[in-house]
């Protein structure tokens, strides 16, 4: 029974990592196409920020999937060295996620405050 659970867990980790990779690849392609489009068209600053906010959302989603895979993988890891490596990777991904979220919120807040005076005029 234990071997079956380990096999299922290993398979789940691979599938979730693949989903994370797919999310990051799609997000990167979407951001690349949007950025190229923005280079050749006169987009207002708000629309250019939206390109990067959208990309940040894709990255946060990918990092979240990767973190989920790390958590699942840690349940079958038997050596302390592997647990430490997983913990380091999970910590890095968590910090990246935190700072991306914080940056996204800062940009949203700046966008809100810059739009408020214009809409009341």
Q: Are 34 and 51 in contact (CB under 8 A)?
A: yes
pLDDT in tens, 28-60: 999 999 989 888 887 777 777 788 888 988 998
d(CA 114, CA 117) in angstroms, rounded, equals 6
pLDDT in tens, 56-73: 889 989 988 988 898 888
pLDDT in tens, 66-117: 888 988 888 888 888 878 887 888 888 788 878 888 887 887 787 778 766 5
- Cα 109 → chain centroid: 20
Distant-in-sequence, close-in-space partners of 69: CB < 8 Å, separation ≥ 6: 12, 13, 16, 17, 20
What predicted TM-score, i.e. pTM, was given to this entire model? 0.74
Alpha helical stretches, state H, 40-79: 45-74
Domain extents for the chain? 2-120
Q: Which among 32, 19, 15, 101 has a CA at the least distance from the CA of 60?
A: 101
């Amino acid at each position: 029974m234990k071997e079956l659970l380990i096999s299922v867990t290993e398979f789940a980790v691979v599938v979730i990592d693949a989903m994370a990779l797919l999310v990051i690849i799609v997000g990167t392609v979407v951001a690349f196409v949007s950025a190229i489009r923005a280079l050749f068209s006169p987009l207002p600053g708000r629309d250019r920020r939206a390109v990067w906010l959208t990309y940040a959302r894709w990255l946060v989603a990918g990092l979240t999937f990767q973190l989920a895979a790390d958590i699942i993988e840690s349940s079958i890891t038997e050596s302390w060295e592997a647990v430490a490596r997983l913990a380091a990777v999970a910590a890095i991904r968590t910090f990246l996620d935190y700072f991306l979220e914080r940056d996204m919120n800062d940009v949203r807040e700046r966008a809100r405050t810059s739009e408020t005076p214009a809409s009341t005029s």
